[in-house]
Amino acid sequence: MPTTLRSRLAALSVVTLAAVAAWTPARGAEPAPAPAAAPPNIVFVLTDDLAWNLVPYLSQVRQLQAEGVTFTNYTVTDSLCCPSRSSILTGDFPHDTGVFTNGGSDGGFAVFKSRGNENRTFATAVQGRGYTTAFMGKYLNGYQPADTQSGTQPYVPPGWSEWYVAGNGYPEYNYDLNENHVVRHYGDAPADYLTNVLARKGRSFIQRAAAAGTPFLLEVSTFAPHSPFTPADQDLDKFPGLTAPRGPAYDRLPRQAPSWLAGNGPLTATEKDNLDRNFRKRAQAVQAVDRLIANLREQLTVSGVADNTYLVFSSDNGFHMGEYRLTGGKQTAFDTDVRVPLVVVGPGVSRGRTRPEIVQNVDLAPTFQRIAGAEVGADVDGRSLLGLVQGDAAPNWRDGALVEHHGPQQAADDPDAQDQRNGSPTTYNALRTATYTYVEYANGEREYYDRTTDPDQLTNLAGDLPATRLAALHQALAGYTGCHGHSSCWAAGDVPD
């Protein structure tokens, strides 16, 4: 057997054995697996506001699904950019990161940093294992490329060997990047289109890191397809006549809708036209994301590291467009917003398989840490998915996901600011299992949807449930929102059927 093949098989067997117990409950920290002979690389592509209904327009993502594992019950801890990204970076729920919104006293980059979260991300963990790390694109709301954070040069958070990050990159043109402490401006030429710039920089990083022979972690975090839904010039004529999906929930209110939603009347003809136009622009905008994925995968192959690299694709939250009489937006507990794609390919990953387990964005950080051979601390709320992607059975996996949201959001400068028509829920906590969604609002209102008989969440049954059932759900949700750390949050995920 050739030496290279023996090394790869040895590395794969060590990683696989280390992951076998990844689904089992633990009392404390997850121990670091034995070091692999050739540590796997990690490439993480995170999109912004990409819902499941855009996957049909992403050929590269469908190819990843054919080659890897798709999680069908993957949800975010809050369908809003900054809290979701904070959970991704740390492996913690919003009640432990302290980030519930995009800014102010309970959210944004300033809160994330002030609470010490930047010192305990997956980047700091894997960098400590000898990985070269790079972050490209969108970081956290409120981060500005030129801000020195009281230092002497534009700020780069700990854990990142290379840093190419924008502030207001939503228009895709005319933005600044902090490029390793140096601010560079990009204009409005076709070559300046941000998603394409990230693709070029991602390829260059992979080429250099692979040539250096060091393991690497690359996160490419696109602004696409977030509003204003700006496609690349080459995609402006794509999908003529495409309209927003008109599923059963389109332009309909659920029965016994909560008060923040109940006042919405039918969508107007103008609103429907805008939704159709914007959905087409979103489908056009993700074509650059598709090319980005293709470019990164091509470079992994050219550099000879494709077989030893995990590639993970996901989104920070979903996006509703006409469902429940809401114009374009997010932040609700409906599946349109909280359930998003998660697809993984890599060494030992099952091909063309779906996994139904309840997994969340808090599970990504411990997964990356386990891949890199780093210890997952007892203070991390999430659980490694490495065993699941490699085909392990998981009979004792968690039963429920937790969603935490503070609202309504009214800050005028928030790129995700929404009104009643977009959907601006009051503060809520929610449980989502494989069969139901249960929501408690701060004003005392509740929702309960049996998704086995009502997959589109159009009949709120909370008022019909027995008092004992409501009490059990309330107790489970209270326990989840009060959990802290690896063992406590794993136990809290054991919720009523």
- Would you please indicate which residues are annotated as catalytic (active-site) residues? 81
Burial of 481 (0-12, 13-18, 19+ CB in 10 A): middle
Q: Which two tokens stand for residue 80?
A: 């809003």
Residue owning tokens 């050219």: 302
Q: Rounded to the nearest 5 degrees, what angle is found at the Cα of 177, between the Cα atoms of 337 and 137?
A: 30
Q: Which residues pair with 309 in a beta bridge?
A: 41
The answer to whether the beta carbons of residues 360 and 74 sit under 8 Å apart is: yes
What does the alpha-carbon distance between residue 17 and residue 461 come to, in Å, rounded to a whole number?
45
The answer to whether the beta carbons of residues 330 and 416 sit under 8 Å apart is: yes
Q: Which two tokens stand for residue 475?
A: 């107790």
For 75, how many CA atoms within 13 A lie in the half-sphere containing its CB?
A: 29
Residue owning tokens 């540590």: 39
Nearest to 191 by CA among 209, 205, 210, 172: 172
Residue owning tokens 């007892």: 378
In this structure, what DSSP letter does residue 220 have? E
What does the alpha-carbon distance between residue 359 and residue 274 come to, in Å, rounded to a whole number?
34
Phi, psi angle pair for 169, to nearest 5°: -100, 5
